Amino acid sequence: MSDKQHLYLVDGSAYIFRAYHRLPPLTNPEGTPVGAVYGYTTMLWKLAEDLDKADGPTHLAVVLDKSGKSFRNEIYPEYKANRPPAPEDLVPQFPLIRDATRAFSLPLIEEPDVEADDMIATYARAAQRQGWDVTIVSSDKDLMQLVGEVDGARIDMLDTMKSNRIYIPEVEEKFGVAPELVGDVLALMGDSVDNIPGIFGVGPKTASKLIAEHGNLTAALDSAGEMKTSKLKERLLEHRADAELSRVLVTLKEDCDLPMPLEEFKLDGVPPEPLAAFLETHGFNSLLKRLGAGTGSPERANNLNPAKAERAGAEASPDGNVQDLPEWPAVDRSAYECVQTMERLEHWIERAFAARLVAVDTETSSLDAMQADLVGFSLGLGPNDACYVPLGHFSGAGGSDDMFAEKPQQVDREAAIAVLKPLLESDAVIKVGQNIKYDLNVLARCGIEVAPVHDTMVISFDMDAGRSEDGIGGGHGMDELAARHLGHTCMKFKDVCGTGKKAISFGEVPLDKATQYAAEDADVTWRLYQVLHRRLPLDGATQVYERVDRPLIPVVAGMEREGIKVDRAALSRLSEQFAETTARIEGEIHEEAGEQFTIGSPKQLGEVLFEKMGYKGGKKGKSGQYSTDQSVLERLAIEGATIANKVLEYRQLSKLKSTYTDALQEAINPDTGRVHTSYSLVGAQTGRLSSTDPNLQNIPIRTEIGREIRKAFVPEEGNVLLAADYSQIELRLAAHMADVPELREAFANGEDIHARTAREMYGEVDRDTRAKAKTINFAILYGISRWGLAGRLGIESDEAQELIDTYFKRFPGIQSYIHATLESVRSKGYSETLFGRKTWFPRINSKNQAERQGSERAAINAPIQGTSADIIKRAMARMKPALADAGLGHVRMLLQVHDELVFELPEGDVAAASPVIEKVMAEAAEPAVTLSVPLGVEIGTGESWDAAH
């Protein structure tokens, strides 16, 4: 046996985070949480036991991070800037970790302003130079750079949680390159935990491939020039500097000052007294017993550690620790538990309380949260650590209420809700959902007010709106997110419930299958949260998520539950009236055409108009079909085609009937008697909400007949509807953002903005010039083109160009705003609102002109439309507390229509509520943003939505 020295360096800080996540929340006799300490202690115990083995330590030291800044912060202030604070029941364990180390009489290295990794690297190299072998007790990927041999002295790593050694082959397997190139791979990948940028969109796979192919980082970056056009190429070229900075950040500092010479790390056995005292203090009785016996294997010894938790910990992921995210075990649907007894349910709920963060998903009988019955719910606590709790499953025909239906063993519904409620309402436990607004509504209808919440869908939207990965798509649905971020394919709902006529409700799904599907959702949601949430600060999206969108989730859920009353009888009368009129017009059209045909078919209509009847008109689009839209028909009408006017009227009425008067009656909820829309928080790339089932954001208003439909939206007896509109908010924002003094001044003075524009452009204001100015103003907001403006104004395109030139000359701020916005979007890939909301434009540099120009127009509009959306969202989030403060807690906010909020309130409260609503809306940008224009708010009230305008 050689007398070769072998130094063990324990990465204590990394270990305790992992132990914290892995182990159950034990407490010592004093009530201090000690779960992580216990894990740490058993780990040291195990190392100490190896003392006499061949490969065991002759020297050992524990290295801890001490708070402070390292050299990395000097070159990159954002380094580790997004680290969340340590969980509050881990904080008191840090000093205990030191106590534990001292109890083992082990040297402890803890230097201010030096990171543990650098200290470990320095000691490891120093020992290696002396010909010692070194084992680094850690699984930190950054440290893998050190692995290897110099002159017969080896550095390897030991992951005690997985009990495996990491040497060159293991590193090569993980990174696809030799250890000395690991830093280059890391530089490309980046690290969201430490806030190391890397190259966005380049993950471990691409990074190792590039480095393996080109040999090093510089060569890999240089190769981008020769690559075929691709996302990757763009990213490599654009973010080269980030990668180079990252390379410096991931490089370990190997020449720190050594606070203690290596020789002092010599192990001389563990004196039993201090250790015994420590074990006793914290109630680690089984270890204490082993110590008394002088032998034994600490890893089996625990009376603190419930057997189940031990098992779960050992099988489950390393943990929720970030460095190990890619090491999660694959989704294993057989690992999920179907909870069928109260005892097991209480166990899960206890564990969820301890975990402080739980993924929640409800399974129901309907996609409509306001009609859905709760069929079951799932909880997720970690990778493959998830359960499904069936509540309303049944088999056989008749439905869950059928007394003949067979029901599997399930927890009693009311009892389950009773134990679930404290968990879901606890301030101390974060509930994570994918589109959790849905679950909020379902559960609110069960009497549970879920809070606080996170939503993986919204987090994704706030970082990645508009982004589309090649081939995968850019949506924010769970299946897509799982594919994109976890490389996992989710079980499809239709594989569980079938599709079309054969579809069954989730309650009919057998429990084993239901458990696989439902618990997987919770598992995947938990994983997505881990991956996405920590990216928020890195992507600069924390502000928008925390200050705009996250607070909005419960607010919008509440609005959906409120719904709005519609006058069914009035809608019904309109439907009848529209039916009669369309029938009459249909006859007239057929007569004029000389044949029966389907007027609602653009194909048939086009053929009748342009072939049979011989009107002139062009083909359009790839389909080769005649266009028969409004503008075409209006042109024909001017040319004397009476049939065109009839078709227009027919179209208008059949649209109003099918989309509104018929559909809205159908949409009345039988339980509440009101119409409940569903808002999508991720529907519009710009950050606007969208409304579906039914869409209450496109209720007619522009025509007299259309307004009849608005009249059917009414308050309850004794109440009124109040509509509060931002006036010209997008133009105001344009005036602010583009810094146009004339327009700012006009808004400040309360002038008619289109008239002011007309005065600036034409020198005089009349009906005609004001109308033109109005068109031009809107054209600006939407990204102008000479042809587009020409089409709208009915002028030639060179004349339109002159108008545009005049506009830019009068308002040079607008031109430079557009220029600067486009330049920024071209280089960064995204636009930004005043509140930091990003919208990505992946086609902004497309070679396809139409594609590129389309992106350019959208990119000009997005900051303005998006800022407006941010502002009204902030107003919405503040509205309820502001009203409550004014003693108006009963005022109900019902609808949002982009620049308008609709409320229902007792008539007598209008005078008190109006100024509160106006103030909240007018001041909604503050204090985050101070606008140079006032935000005007117009308020109206009435006995219908129409009357409130």
Partner DNA sequence: CAGGTCACG
Partner DNA sequence: GACGTACGTGACCTGC
Within 764-783, the residues that bind DNA by CB under 7 A are: 775-776, 778-780, 782-783
Q: Is residue 378 near DNA by the rule CB under 7 A?
A: no
Kindly write down the DSSP assignment for every residue of 122-189, as one continuous string: HHHHHHHHTT-EEEEE---GGGGGG-EEETTEEEEEEETTTTEEE-HHHHHHHHSS-GGGHHHHHHHH
Binding mask 313-352 for DNA (x = CB under 7 A): ----------------------------------------
Among 470, 629, 805, 885, binds DNA (CB under 7 A): 629
Two structure tokens written together for 245 = 């900075």
CA distances from 223 to 220, 256, 287, 540, 865 (A): 5, 35, 57, 29, 40
Alpha-carbon distance of 440 to 446, in angstroms, equals 10
Among 163, 630, 642, 827, binds DNA (CB under 7 A): 630
Among 212, 663, 795, 928, binds DNA (CB under 7 A): 663
User: 160 or 435, CB closer to DNA?
Assistant: 435
Number of shown-chain residues binding DNA (CB under 7 A): 74
Among 67, 334, 749, 849, binds DNA (CB under 7 A): 849
> By CB under 7 A, which span of 233-241, 380-388, 567-575, 685-693 interacts with DNA?
685-693
Distant-in-sequence, close-in-space partners of 655: CB < 8 Å, separation ≥ 6: none
Spatial contact of 100 and 16, defined as CB atoms under 8 Å apart: no
Among 49, 693, 923, 943, binds DNA (CB under 7 A): 693
Q: Is residue 198 near DNA by the rule CB under 7 A?
A: no
Q: Is residue 785 near DNA by the rule CB under 7 A?
A: yes
Binding mask 473-492 for DNA (x = CB under 7 A): --------------------
User: 63 or 738, CB closer to DNA?
Assistant: 738
- The closest alpha carbon to 559, from 949, 906, 910, 896, belongs to 896
Phi, psi of 679 (to 5 degrees): -95, 140
Q: Is residue 604 near DNA by the rule CB under 7 A?
A: yes
Token pair 């490089």 in the structure block, residue:
251
> By CB under 7 A, which span of 47-55, 73-81, 647-655, 918-926 interacts with DNA?
647-655
User: 19 or 780, CB closer to DNA?
Assistant: 780
Alpha-carbon distance of 526 to 439, in angstroms, equals 15
Spatial contact of 506 and 514, defined as CB atoms under 8 Å apart: yes
Spatial contact of 934 and 918, defined as CB atoms under 8 Å apart: no
Among 4, 409, 787, 915, binds DNA (CB under 7 A): 787
- The closest alpha carbon to 628, from 658, 612, 608, 655, belongs to 608
**Cβ of residue 768: shortest distance to DNA, in angstroms?**
15
Two structure tokens written together for 253 = 């500092």
Where do the DSSP E strands lie in 206-356? 337-338
Two structure tokens written together for 543 = 């502000």
Among 10, 738, 789, 916, binds DNA (CB under 7 A): 789
User: 416 or 921, CB closer to DNA?
Assistant: 921
User: 641 or 663, CB closer to DNA?
Assistant: 663
> By CB under 7 A, which span of 247-255, 401-409, 688-696, 930-938 interacts with DNA?
688-696
Long-range (24+ apart) CB contacts under 8 A made by 341-349 are 341/409, 341/411, 342/411, 342/412, 342/415, 342/416, 342/419, 344/387, 345/389, 345/411, 345/416, 345/419, 346/419, 348/379, 348/381, 348/387, 348/389, 349/379, 349/419, 349/420, 349/423
Sign for the pseudo-dihedral over CA of 163, 165, 169, 175: positive
Distant-in-sequence, close-in-space partners of 269: CB < 8 Å, separation ≥ 6: 51
Amino acid identity at 437 = K
Among 223, 251, 672, 853, binds DNA (CB under 7 A): 853
User: 53 or 622, CB closer to DNA?
Assistant: 622
Two structure tokens written together for 718 = 């004794």
Site for DNA in 664-683 (CB under 7 A): 680, 683
Binding mask 121-160 for DNA (x = CB under 7 A): ----------------------------------------
**Cβ of residue 734: shortest distance to DNA, in angstroms?**
12
**Cβ of residue 11: shortest distance to DNA, in angstroms?**
46
**136 CB neighbour count, 10 Å cutoff:** 27
Among 400, 572, 690, 806, binds DNA (CB under 7 A): 690
Binding mask 873-902 for DNA (x = CB under 7 A): ------------------------xxxx--
Strands 337-338 vs 385-390: parallel, antiparallel or unpaired: parallel
Among 652, 728, 769, 831, binds DNA (CB under 7 A): 652
Among 504, 701, 771, 884, binds DNA (CB under 7 A): 701
**Cβ of residue 881: shortest distance to DNA, in angstroms?**
24
Q: Is residue 697 near DNA by the rule CB under 7 A?
A: yes
Among 46, 792, 878, 919, binds DNA (CB under 7 A): 792
Q: Is residue 831 near DNA by the rule CB under 7 A?
A: no
Q: How many helices (H) and strands (E) does the chain have?
A: 39, 25
Where do the DSSP E strands lie in 524-613? 565-566
Q: Is residue 816 near DNA by the rule CB under 7 A?
A: no
> By CB under 7 A, which span of 6-14, 573-581, 694-702, 747-755 interacts with DNA?
694-702
Q: Is residue 172 near DNA by the rule CB under 7 A?
A: no
Among 228, 501, 616, 702, binds DNA (CB under 7 A): 702
Token pair 């190391």 in the structure block, residue:
196
Alpha-carbon distance of 240 to 217, in angstroms, equals 10
Site for DNA in 294-313 (CB under 7 A): none
Token pair 């806030």 in the structure block, residue:
195
Q: Is residue 253 near DNA by the rule CB under 7 A?
A: no
Among 297, 303, 601, 669, binds DNA (CB under 7 A): 601
Alpha-carbon distance of 177 to 686, in angstroms, equals 42
CA distances from 939 to 103, 316, 373, 559, 691 (A): 71, 57, 38, 19, 22
Q: Is residue 497 near DNA by the rule CB under 7 A?
A: no
Q: Is residue 654 near DNA by the rule CB under 7 A?
A: yes
End-to-end CA distance of the chain: 93
User: 307 or 850, CB closer to DNA?
Assistant: 850
DSSP assignment letter at 300: G
Q: Is residue 4 near DNA by the rule CB under 7 A?
A: no
> By CB under 7 A, which span of 94-102, 508-516, 571-579, 856-864 interacts with DNA?
856-864
Q: Is residue 514 near DNA by the rule CB under 7 A?
A: no
Q: Is residue 821 near DNA by the rule CB under 7 A?
A: no
Q: Is residue 815 near DNA by the rule CB under 7 A?
A: no
User: 756 or 898, CB closer to DNA?
Assistant: 898
Q: Is residue 88 near DNA by the rule CB under 7 A?
A: no
DSSP assignment letter at 923: T
Q: Is residue 541 near DNA by the rule CB under 7 A?
A: no
User: 577 or 775, CB closer to DNA?
Assistant: 775
Q: Is residue 936 near DNA by the rule CB under 7 A?
A: no
Amino acid identity at 878 = R
Q: Is residue 625 near DNA by the rule CB under 7 A?
A: yes
Among 203, 788, 906, 942, binds DNA (CB under 7 A): 788
Alpha-carbon distance of 485 to 482, in angstroms, equals 5
Binding mask 570-599 for DNA (x = CB under 7 A): ----------------------------x-
- The closest alpha carbon to 786, from 807, 772, 804, belongs to 804
Q: Is residue 627 near DNA by the rule CB under 7 A?
A: yes
